[in-house]
Structure 1
Amino acid sequence: MHVKTLLIIALALSMAGCAGRQTEEILGSVVVPTTATEIAGNHSIFIATTRKRSDDPNKVFDGERSATLNYARVSVTVPPVHQAGQIERRSRGTSNDPTKYFMASEVVGYDTQPKFAGALNADIDARGGRVMVFVHGYNTGFDDAVYRLTQIVHDSGYPGTPVLFSWASGAKTTDYVYDKESASAARDQLEVTLRMLAQTGARRIDIVAHSMGTWVTMETLRQLAITGDRDLSGKLGDVVLASPDIDVDVFKSQMRRYGKPDKPFILLLSDDDRALRLSGLIAGSRPRVGDYRDAADLASYGVTVVDLSKEKGSDSFNHTKFADNPALVKMIGQRLREDDGFASDRDVTDRISQLATQ
């Protein structure tokens, strides 16, 4: 067997060793009774997904691909023991206790886009017209994606409407190719979702994408640029690309087609990202944007590069630093709350970089 293949398998197995201990259920059949005063927060997450509905109602959506978008709203409670940057997850065999773990308390499905858009628009109006779209990455189950966005919203103090665009990841480390194809299949549906949001009362639509989700996002923005509506009729706000799992040459091509953005895209990079190292090996040892070391080269395309290499992640893979660092996720939330977003703070790059040394 080729040495590179062995290295890829070894790294994938090491990553898999940290997975599988948590339940994939987002709803529990039996939940420990809890009052509102016993939880730290309750957040409504709106869902647009290319996943199929699961045969297990407690999982809601699985990793299979749907030909059309499915819509839902999930209410998630945050436990009082929550530590910023962490997601307290229930392990298999433990009780569904909202005082200890992130828990979904309610799932509402919408069988048509107009019904979903109506509920979404009401929430957007109630929250001041701000929307944050989160696009997750590779090896991410539906439950993982919902809880990650909930954690980001809670820790950052984001006051607007959170929308999860969840594409059909297989949620297995060995499903990299399947995930990449699922991401490709989801591009048009992300475009549909963004255009739908632009038709609501939203004043500003920010996008936070992670890992392979940044590739879906960039492809969709490229498509919007080709149609002549690259900024969603002026409603596109900040675009934050965390640990981008995109070939550097592909990213440059995407940016050339999109053109220099009116507001520089924010790239959060780290050259010790082991997950991107694996991705690079699979892609023929080609550099990924998320661990690319030539910041000046990327900046010439109209992006702001933030190097988080000195910051330690919560695990050995250093792939989710944007959400793991309590001070960083709070600062991202603070910037997104401003009318001008990241542009409101010219020193934000220096201050985020300073966080990495704390």
Structure 2
Amino acid sequence: MEISPQIVGTFLDKLKCREYYTLSKSIPFYVNYEHGCIAIINKNQNTIKVGVWKFYNLVAEVLGSMSFKTSDYRSYNHISYLLPIVADLLLFLDEDIHDYTPPRKGWSNVKRSKYSTKIDIELTTLQNRKICSSSNKVASRAIEHGEDISESTEKIVDVHFATNRVKVNDARMFSSDIGIATCYGIAKISIPETHKFGKIEKPLSVLNVKLGEKKGKHFTVDHTEELSFKEFRESLTSKTSGESLILFIHGYNVDFKSALFKSAQIKNDFKYKNPLLLYSWPSHANPLAYSGDKERVDQSVDCLAKLIVDVSELGIKNISIIAHSMGTYCLVKALKQLNSQVANFDSLALASPDIPKSAFINNYFTYVKSAFERVALYASSKDKALWLSKTINRDIRLGQAGENITIINGVETIDVSKADFGWYKLNHSAPIGNSMSMIDLHNFLIRKQPAEDRLLAEAFTANNEAYWYVHN
């Protein structure tokens, strides 16, 4: 089902003085929409205000996950109040919500919203009352009234991998050293029940000393198994049923375990049922080894090129690639080496690409377009890692936005500058770590939506060239 911001806006305009009920316990609350804001009045007469873009993004997630379980949307505050509104929207559009995963107690307790005159009185009484925005307060009230906001079970996510790293003895893991042959396998990653969308839960580090990971609290490697190339191919094809596959190529300063965690996080958050294949090139995993990582990229091009050919011969209908940071450089070099030998890939997401802008346009773009039907470029003006790369290499990077933003015919350029993590962060992983950017990436890769149908706003350069940007 396709829902545009315009359709959601039409529904919200009709959202006046409505009485709703939480999906699990049928606790009443009231909703009114005005001035671009959804106002929710709960049983304790506290007012909660939710911005339109937050609601738009939740709608997109519900459509993608096909679920009305509160535990599937931990990154949202007030989810017990928002999901009934989403359900009402789908019913408004004649969607059969019984095709979706039901709330904890099924659909039998779910009540339709109705017009209420009581909300007029409540709004007048509460118009000067302080907005309740604390998620902890909402959670405590939900528990007090019996609303389940924490239903979940621990998840084990399978990640297929191919790597030219050297194996660590007896650990079934891989080091930062470069090997001669490609190793294949599958890793089982444990994700905690408290996982939040777009995040990787990991232990704190004190004075650069990392504390131990705890299963159930942090991402952990449950098990890894090496496979022969034949077993690897058979595993991929048996788990895809010929439908789809995502290949993820990580960036600079990433060790093997971190690459597994990021792959598992993407697969889990996308609720992706088919294989996600990680290609892990031997980054030094050291922020001071930028030049060394560039050399490792050059040394890994042959390995990635062979993997791309192998994947293209699996007979899978839809193959998409997410390439991040310096991993994008390895990818475009491999595509150029293959010289348009592969042309059956579906979508490519270039996330914070650390590629010289001029080199991409003049030397690599032809090979990218011949291999992929759809290409999206995620860029940011607040990416400090790319700013440093530009300073070192004395060349504008493809992943930079602002006055350096790259607009190419046939490429969707998405500015994620507003989806930053704060001034003290590198903001280099915003396209694959920020929840709003991740939602757009999901809509691009999984739902195959063009930019104009996604939850993006349009903008123009000084030369009147159109691009898009993510709201936060």
Which position in structure 1 is the counterpart of 2:203? 90
Matches for 1:67-78 after TM superposition, within 5 Å: 67-78=180-191
Greater mean deviation of Cα atoms: 43-52 or 255-264: 255-264
Preserved CA contact (<8 Å) 2:332 2:368: no
Superposition TM-score, scaled by structure 1 size: 0.79
Which position in structure 2 is the counterpart of 1:281? 391
* Structure 1 runs not aligned, ≥5 long: 1-36
Greater mean deviation of Cα atoms: 260-269 or 96-105: 260-269
TM superposition shift of 1:162:
0.3
SS in 2 for 1:329: helix
> Does 2:454 align with 1:348?
yes
SS in 2 for 1:188: helix
Which position in structure 1 is the counterpart of 2:351? 242
User: Which letter maps to 1:200?
Assistant: L
Match of 1:161 among 275, 289, 293: 275
Preserved CA contact (<8 Å) 1:90 1:96: yes
> Does 2:341 align with 1:229?
yes
Distance 2:183 2:304 in 1: 12
Which position in structure 2 is the counterpart of 1:101? 218
User: Which letter maps to 1:139?
Assistant: N
Greater mean deviation of Cα atoms: 83-92 or 213-222: 83-92
Identity of aligned residues (%): 26
Match of 1:303 among 402, 405, 411: 411
User: Using a 3 Å threshold, how does the CA distance of structure 1 residues 182 and 87 change in structure 2: closer, same or farther?
Assistant: same
Distance 1:242 1:64 in 2: 25
Preserved CA contact (<8 Å) 1:134 1:208: yes
Equivalent residue pairs, number:
308
Matches for 1:124-273 after TM superposition, within 5 Å: 124-125=240-241, 129-224=243-338, 226=339, 228-231=340-343, 234=344, 236-258=345-367, 260-261=369-370, 263-273=373-383
User: Using a 3 Å threshold, how does the CA distance of structure 1 residues 42 and 352 change in structure 2: closer, same or farther?
Assistant: farther
> Does 2:438 align with 1:329?
yes
User: Which letter maps to 1:75?
Assistant: K
SS in 2 for 1:66: strand
User: Using a 3 Å threshold, how does the CA distance of structure 1 residues 93 and 312 change in structure 2: closer, same or farther?
Assistant: closer
User: Which letter maps to 1:121?
Assistant: T
Distance 2:232 2:374 in 1: 31
TM superposition shift of 1:298:
3.2
Which position in structure 2 is the counterpart of 1:6? none
User: Which letter maps to 1:270?
Assistant: S
TM superposition shift of 1:143:
0.8
TM superposition shift of 1:172:
0.2
Distance 2:188 2:349 in 1: 25
Match of 2:232 among 109, 112, 116: 116
User: Using a 3 Å threshold, how does the CA distance of structure 1 residues 352 and 239 change in structure 2: closer, same or farther?
Assistant: farther
Which position in structure 2 is the counterpart of 1:313? 421
Distance 1:61 1:291 in 2: 32
Distance 1:65 1:252 in 2: 30
> Does 2:158 align with 1:44?
yes
Q: Deviations over 1:319-354 (max 9, x none)?
A: 11112222331332243223xx244x5433735998
User: Which letter maps to 2:273?
Assistant: P
SS in 2 for 1:299: coil
TM superposition shift of 1:292:
4.4
TM superposition shift of 1:259:
6.6
Q: For the aligned residues, what is the CA RMSD?
A: 2.5
Q: Deviations over 1:180-232 (max 9, x none)?
A: 111111111111112111222411110001000011111122223x2x4241x
Distance 2:232 2:171 in 1: 20
User: Using a 3 Å threshold, how does the CA distance of structure 1 residues 334 and 248 change in structure 2: closer, same or farther?
Assistant: closer
Distance 1:346 1:291 in 2: 22
Preserved CA contact (<8 Å) 1:47 1:73: yes
SS in 2 for 1:291: coil
TM superposition shift of 1:80:
0.9
TM superposition shift of 1:87:
0.7
User: Using a 3 Å threshold, how does the CA distance of structure 1 residues 101 and 258 change in structure 2: closer, same or farther?
Assistant: same
User: Using a 3 Å threshold, how does the CA distance of structure 1 residues 281 and 99 change in structure 2: closer, same or farther?
Assistant: same
Preserved CA contact (<8 Å) 1:247 1:289: yes
Distance 2:284 2:210 in 1: 23
SS in 2 for 1:310: helix
